[in-house]
Structure formats: structure tokens, C-alpha cells
A and B are shown apart, each in its own frame.
Chain A
Amino acid sequence: MKQLRCVAGVLAGIFIFGEIVRGLNYLYVPENNADAMWYRIMWNSFYEEQGNIDNVVLGSSHVFCDINPYLLDERNHQCNFNLSSPGQLMNATYYLLKEADKNNELSHVYIELFYLNNIKATFGGEEPITEKYFNNWGNVDHMKMSLNKLAYMLTMTDVEKYPETWVQFIRYRTNLSDWGGIADTVNWKKSEDYLNYNYQFFYRETDECETVYGKKGYYYTPSVFNETGRFFFQSTILQENPMAELSEQYLRKTIAFCQRKNIPVTLFVSPMYDLQLISTENYDNYVNQVRGIAEEYHVEFYDFNLVGEEYLPIQHPKYFMDGGHLNSVGADLFTDFFNQVMSGDIDVNKKYFYDSYKERLQNQEPEVYGIYYRDSKDSEDDGDLVRHMWIGSNRETEMEYRIIFMPYGKGQELIQDFSVNKEFKIESSSESGTLSVEYRLKTNPSFIQKIEIEIEL
């Protein structure tokens, strides 16, 4: 009898603990920001579709923005699902694939490999991006409990982060007495939109059409990339074999899992606006490493950034919502081509792709895509922060550039007259303004083109 009382006491304690955690999660976990809502809606839709899914596309935001699963369904007459999440890491891809495989007869698995999620480190001594465990939290918050989820939770972080991983409200404990925030959270969770899994918003204040989180893991946005905003931070310079150990390990595990289950698997990289890849020097190092792994496992790999413009004319701001992601118009254009490649013959597909990114750039019309920058301390300037800038063009020496800086509300300053030099500096103490870059081919100096970029200092 006493033993029974002890067991009952322990069970009651666990129940009370669970209920209090549930209550605190309700009060403190906001779920009204864009990422949190994405996870919630995507996982709800996933479990609704369970049992019907033929193909899953796993990967980062480049999947849910770039691939229209409804269009893909029409094209390949199958049920496609974008099981993708913001900044999805390779360990997430592995466990999400296992989740999809549990209750679906998968015909094909597509794995997207956005390079910034999979490389060792970015500038500034930051921790390797693959250790950004919080990219995984949104998934486990909405996955149904299973051994697969347990394994995912146990491996996604080091042990110190377990409390935050396992108990959601702990992540928000700094907002403990933010009563306004709690009221907003409660109101949001009571709203019809929340309860019905609706989420629509304006991606930018200036947008006229609403961005919608659709079902099947589709992020529909008509928002258009602002041409004057082509000003990118140079996040990294890729060395040889730049993939992080953890990413490579899980990529191999993912491919091996598919092969063990006899599910065809294809690796790919979504198209990005060229300035992003130009700013990442030596992008081909990443392509070569992934290609090497793909060849090792005899799986197909397509980097859609290597496609000739004649086959996929997507390098225009009108197809992008920002520098990396396609908008809904670009997504439709890309989804069609994606389907064409995935359903096409491997030998035929070869003709669409250049061997390297560098080669593709060389074969395009000379163009300036924008400006990229990096802040660093210059010893010659007493250690002050200096913003180093580069012109993002697809030619090394054949073009000349004239650069004029126009700080807001002031005159203009000629930084350099026509010259092949692509690098220049602006001290970070300067004001923001507009940078005008005029460019021409050395062989045709009379034909001058111009872009204007707004820069924030």
C-alpha cells in the first residue's frame, strides 16, 4: 500500500509539473513572430498530409520560398511537400527525413544544401553556423513525440542547452515580467487566425500584396527585391572543403538512410542572386566538395547557380524577394525548371549546367550586380573600423568603374574615376548615402552603364 502511494505521489508530481510547464509555455512562448508561425503551420500541414506525401524537399528557407509545391504537384502528378525550415541544418534534415519516412511511401527525396548553413564558420570569430542549435528548436517544438524526435533533441545541442531545448518557456524567461508581451501572446493564441493556422503579413511595409504561409510548406510572397538595396555583407570567404564536419557527417547519414530504404535522393542548391555568391569568394570550393560526396554515393547533384542564363533566366531582382530568396514569380519560374531537370535524363541535364560558378559568370554578359562589404580594423587608421567595399561584377579585369558617393543631404564625392580597381573604403564614421557605380568595358569605353545603391554606414 505504501509503495502504491509512493508511485501515485511520483506520478501526480510529474503530472502537476507537466501542467505547470504547459501553462507557462502558453503564457511565455510568443509564437507570433514570423519564424515561430512558420514552424507551427508547416508542421500542422505536414501531419495533415501524412500518408499522402510522395516527394519531400528538405532544406532551408530557400526551399519554402523557391519551390512551389502546388505547381510541382501539377507538373509531376505527385504529392510534394517542402519539409523545410529557416536555416535548416543537416542534422535537422536527417531527422525530418526520418519523420517523413515514418508514415509515407516516399518516391523521391530532394535535399537542398544552402551553403551558409553548412560551412565551417563565418567572419568575426563567430561559432560555426552548424552549432546554431536554435535553428532546430522550432522543429522539435511542433514534431509529435516519437523516438525519432527524442534522438533529434538529444543530439541537436550539447547537454548544457537541454533545459532550453526540452522546456520551451525557459527560452523566454528573460521576459518574465513583460506583462504587455504576455497579454499579446495570450491574445494572439486566442485569435481565429492562430487557431485556424492562418498567417498573412506584409513582408515589407511598402509591399502591396500579402505574404502568406501556405500549406505543404510553401511561403508565398509577391514582394520584389529592391534594386537599390543590392548592398551585401560579405559573410565569408570559402576555403577548400569548406563544409563543416557536422554537416558532412549528417549529409552522409541522410544519403545512406535513403539508399538503405531504396529511396532515390537528389542533392541541389537553389538559385541565388549572383551578388550573394560573388561576395562569397571561391564558391566553387563548396560546389566541388558537395559534388565529390554526391559522386561517392552515386547520387545526382545540381547546383542551380551553375545553370546558363539561356535555360533559367532568373538573375533579375524582379524574381527575388531579397538577395537570396525567390519571390512567388521567381518560384514558379524555378519550380518549372526544377521539375524539368528532376524528371529529365541525367545526360540531357548536363547541358544546362556549367562545370563551375566561375565559368558561368565568365559566359554571361558583363554586369555589375551590386556592392558587397566587410568591416575591419585598419592598423594604418589607428584601428578605427573601416568598411571595405567591393564592386560585385562578373569580370576580373576587363571592366572599368567610376564610383561616386553621395551622402544624404550633402554634395557628392568622387571615390575613383574609371579604373579596373574594384575595392574601395569608406570610413564607418561617414554618413549613409547613395553610391553610384558607372561601368564600362575597356574594349568599348563609350558604352557606359550605371547602377545606384543605397548604403547604410
Chain B
Amino acid sequence: MLFNTIQYILFLLFVVLIYYILPQKLRCVWLLGASYYFYMQWNLVYIVLLFSCTVITYVGGLLLERLKDVQQETGDGKRCIDKRKVLFIVCIILNLGILGGFKYLSFAVSLLNRMLSYIHISGFPFNFDILLPVGISFYTLQALGYLIDVYRGDIYAEKNFVHYALFVSFFPQLVAGPIERSKNLLVQLNREHVFQYENIRKGLLLVLYGLFLKMVIADRAAIIVDVIYENSGIYSGFYLVSATFFFAIQIYCDFYGYSTIARGSALLMGIHLMDNFNAPYYSRSVKEFWRRWHISLSGWFRDYLYIPLGGSRKGKLRKAVNCMIVFAISGLWHGASLAFVLWGILNGIYQVTEDVINELKKRLNNKFVYRTLNFSSKLFQTVLTFLLVTFAWLFFRSGELKVSLETLCNMCRFDNWIGVLEGALGTEILDGQNYMNVLLVSILALFIVDYQKYKGKDVVEVFFQQGWWFRTIVIMSMIFVILLYGCYGVSYNVQQFIYFQF
């Protein structure tokens, strides 16, 4: 059940309606049932994995806390600490084992076979191609985050199984995040929620904006990207460059759209999910970009991987190594392919290079007069960051290393720029130039909204402070632009969200 389908809208409205009708005590049970039903729409069998992950981390959390209590009561510190550590590691291995088995086994075997073939040894004859369970990367990280928090003693283990199971499987963020922290979501699930008109109207606005991002921008840009990338031999040079730019927009709107619908859906039930994006394409450095892009994942890696590795506390070289490790793993988390690893490493290299340049600049600034950056310098930094990030997206889009390199070669044939400038993308690939115009205007609208976010404003709050006529025009425009230009219905295949594959 994709967010951009009528089924989801009907499902959501039904769930919300019953949620508010039911007494407080039953609401979490209802949401848990709805979440499991939602997940089962993809694959009935994989519900076992979700449940296993939930049970392992729930029981693990309780036992970790019990051992901590025993340690405090008996004063038998060493033995309890050892037991806790063993238990913690076992839980982590079990969870990562499930993720690894379903996501990385096939990749690992094929990599091993390739290496063995270089030394003329026959590889494993098994085929481990398993359909990746939707959302497994997201809910595994979320559950692990909880377990680590309990282990560290940052939070108490959740005693109520229904609340915990709902924390892992809460349907708006189950399949593609945001990867919520127990301190935020679990705490909210334990609270009572009363019907608030504010939540409803803000939630509906977020759902509408998310649909606009997905159906009008991401899916329309996807048409250009898919046609060009799948025929990169024909559409070389400027076509590929344009497609890569559109992919940068597509992936942003696709994932941001999903996250926004997720936030809106949760808000309809009075639950606040974290904002996963904060105007990332206004970033003036790759480091800043990663603070604004997929914030829940970046935060997870920062708190549970980068800092435990030593972060920036153990010298510059170690900081650079830690950064590279985190980004390589982040790449691998996105997809079991060398192209994703390369994408991650590339982002790591950007950041390490930035650190070096910043260090140099700092030294130079100490010697010369420090000047505040003017508009053009800021613009240059923003554009450069966008270009660097977009270049890295090429590897992400291609999915396979060989394809990425071929695409890169095809991109370097600049023999067709006139066609692109004359609007061939709209007339040849989209259904007409007016679709391209609407796409470009929509992207402009996105950047205007994002600029407000970049300036630190709560866009939803600002929107509801405007006059009724302005709100009516904006809401009606969004509805009718979706109805007229959105990719849905008879003429289009409903596009899956890109991040569902991770």
C-alpha cells in the first residue's frame, strides 16, 4: 500500500477515524493492528521478520535493564557488566544477522565468487536472490537504536509490549522512516492523545504537500530520468547531465514527499515525527548537506557509530577515517552494491576534503583579514555543494558500478546540447512542453518553501498565519495541480518510493 494511492488515503482516514472513536487504552492496540495490516499488504510472510526483530529487542531491552538492576542491588558489578555486554552483542548480532541475511548475503556471495574466479576457483553454486523485505533497514536501525539507548542507560526499557511493538512498526514511518528515536516516539506512544483540530489541519496539509512533492515533481522528473538513464547510449551528453540534475530533484522530492506524508499521517493521530529534511539543497558544504538530508539516518550514524568510533576526539586522521567508515557503511546500508559503497565513500571524501580545506582557510584567515562572505560567495558554495552532491547521485541512480562508469563516459559526449536547450526533454520525453513548464514551476515553488525552512521558519506555522484567501488559493492550487499533473490513475503506473528498496 503506497502512500500515493487512494487505498492509502482511505486506509489512513479509516484508521484515524476509529483511533479517535476508541477509548485511549485501546488506541495503541488499534494502531498496532493497523500497522501490521499495512505491512502485510506487501508480503504476508515478512511480518515474521518484523515481529522477530520486535521480540528480540523488546526482550533484550528488558533483560539488559534487569541485569542493570541486579548489578545495582547486589553490587556484583563485573559479572553483570560482562553478562550485559554478551547479551547486548547477541541481540545486535541477531538483528543485524536478519538484516544481513536478507539484504547482503546475495551481494556477499556474488562478491566472493567474483574474487574466487580471479584465482580460478569455482564459487558457491547457490543463488541467494531473496526479495528484500520492505523497510527492514529502517525498522532494524530503529530497534537497534532503542536497544543501544537501554544498554547505555539513556532510557528505561519499555515494559508494555504493545507500545514497544507499535514503536517498531508504526505504519507512517515503518517502511522508509524517519528512523525515530525511542526518546521521541516511544514517549509519545505512552501519552494520551486528544482530538485537536490544529493537528488535523496541519496533518492534512503535510499529507497534501507530500503528495504534491511525490506525484507532481518526483514522479514527473522520474519519467525524464528513467528514459534517459535506461537509454544512456542514445541520450548522452547534455541529456544525461540534465537527467542527473532531475534525479537530484527526484530523489529529494520522492523521499522528502514520503517523509512529509509520514509526518502528516502521524500528526493526524496527534503524534509528532521528526522532520527528515531541512532544505538540504541550500547547504553550503557537503557536511551541512548531511546535517539537512535524511536527518534521522545521519543522526543515527552519528550517535551510534561515529561517536562510539571516537568521532573527532581522537585526532584529525582518526576523524577522517571514522568519517570514511561511517559513509561507506551508510552507502552499504542504502543498497547491497559497490556503486552505493562508492557513493558513500565519495561523500566521505567530500567531507574529509572539506575539513582539509577549512583547516587551510582557517590558517589563512588567521594571517589575513577575515572577511564575511558576501552573497556571491555563498551562492557559489551552495551551487558547488549541489553539483558535488548531484555528481555523487549518478552512482546512486545507476545502482551498479559498471553501469555508473558507462553512464559517466556517455555523459562526456557533449554533442547534443542544442536539442536539450530547445526543450527536447519536454517535447520528446514528457508528454509535452506544458508538463515541463509545470515541473519547473513546481520545483521553483519547492525551493521557495525550502528557503523559508532554511531561514529557520516553521513553514506550516507560517502558512496558517496567512489570510484565509491565501491559504485557500495555495491548498486549491496544490489539489488541482496534483489532480491535473500528478502521475496517477489510468495513464500512469503508480511509482514506488525510491527508499522503499532499501
Report which A residues bind B (CB closer than 8 A): 3, 6, 9, 12-13, 16-17, 20, 24, 159-164, 167, 170-171, 173-174, 176-177
Contacts and interface: CB of A to CB of B under 8 A. Distances in A.
Contact of A170 (B6, B10, B483): B483
A134 to B, nearest CB: 8
Given A159-B6, A173-B483, A173-B484, A13 B472 contact: yes
B459 to A, nearest CB: 20
Nearest to A177: B434
Given A163-B489, A174-B431, A17 B6 contact: no
Contacts of A163: 6, 483, 488-489
B479 interface: yes
Contacts of A17: 476, 479
Interface in B30-76: none
B475 interface: yes
Contact of A159 (B7, B490, B491): B7
B494 A160 contact: yes
B242 to A, nearest CB: 22
A9 B490 CA distance: 32
Contacts of A9: 468
B495 to A, nearest CB: 13
Contacts of B197: 3, 6
A161 to B, nearest CB: 6
B353 interface: no
A174 B479 CA distance: 17
Contacts of B7: 159-160
B5 interface: yes
B414 interface: no
Interface of B: 5-7, 10, 197, 431-432, 434, 468, 472, 475-476, 479-480, 483-485, 488-491, 494
Closest 6 CB pairs of A and B: A177-B434, A159-B6, A173-B484, A162-B6, A159-B7, A163-B489
Contacts of B484: 170, 173, 176
A162 B10 CA distance: 11
Contacts of B432: 177
Contact of A164 (B5, B476, B485, B490): B490
Nearest to B475: A13
Nearest to A162: B6
B492 to A, nearest CB: 10
Nearest to A28: B484
Output the residue of B432, B480, B484 with the most chain A CB within 10 A: B484
B479 A170 contact: no
B92 to A, nearest CB: 41
Contact of A20 (B480, B488, B494): B480
Contacts of A160: 5-7, 488-489, 494
Contacts of A12: 472
23 contacts: A9-B468, A12-B472, A16-B476, A17-B476, A17-B479, A20-B480, A24-B480, A159-B6, A160-B6, A160-B488, A160-B489, A161-B490, A163-B488, A164-B489, A164-B490, A167-B483, A170-B483, A171-B490, A173-B483, A174-B431, A176-B484, A176-B485, A177-B432
A12 B475 CA distance: 13
Contacts of B434: 176-177
Contacts of B485: 173, 176
Contacts of A162: 6
Given A6-B197, A160-B5, A176-B485, 4 more contacts: A160-B494, A167-B483, A170-B483, A174-B431
Contacts of B489: 160-161, 163-164, 170
Given A163-B489, A177-B432, A20 B476 contact: yes
A159 B13 CA distance: 15
Contacts of B491: 174
A12 B485 CA distance: 24
Nearest to B472: A16
Output the residue of B479, B480, B488, B489 with the most chain A CB within 10 A: B489
Contacts of A171: 490
A20 B475 CA distance: 13
A136 to B, nearest CB: 13
Contacts of A16: 472, 476
A170 B486 CA distance: 10
Contacts of A170: 483-484, 489
Nearest to B10: A159
Contacts of A6: 197
Nearest to B484: A173
Contacts of A24: 480
B441 to A, nearest CB: 14
B17 to A, nearest CB: 15
B356 to A, nearest CB: 51
B267 to A, nearest CB: 17
A163 B490 CA distance: 9
Output the residue of B6, B432, B490 with the most chain A CB within 10 A: B490
Nearest to B494: A160
B476 to A, nearest CB: 6
B142 to A, nearest CB: 30
A16 B480 CA distance: 12
A173 B437 CA distance: 15
B58 to A, nearest CB: 35
A24 B197 CA distance: 31
Contacts of B6: 159-160, 162-163
A12 B469 CA distance: 11
Contacts of B10: 159
Nearest to B488: A163
A176 B197 CA distance: 36
A56 B475 CA distance: 46
A415 B126 CA distance: 57
Contacts of B488: 160, 163
A160 B486 CA distance: 13
A13 B474 CA distance: 12
B483 A159 contact: no
Nearest to A171: B490
A16 B476 CA distance: 8
A343 to B, nearest CB: 45
A150 to B, nearest CB: 15
A440 to B, nearest CB: 52
Contacts of A177: 432, 434
A171 B70 CA distance: 68
Contacts of B494: 160
Contacts of A176: 434, 484-485
Contacts of B476: 16-17, 20
B451 to A, nearest CB: 27
Contacts of A20: 476, 480
Contacts of A174: 431, 491
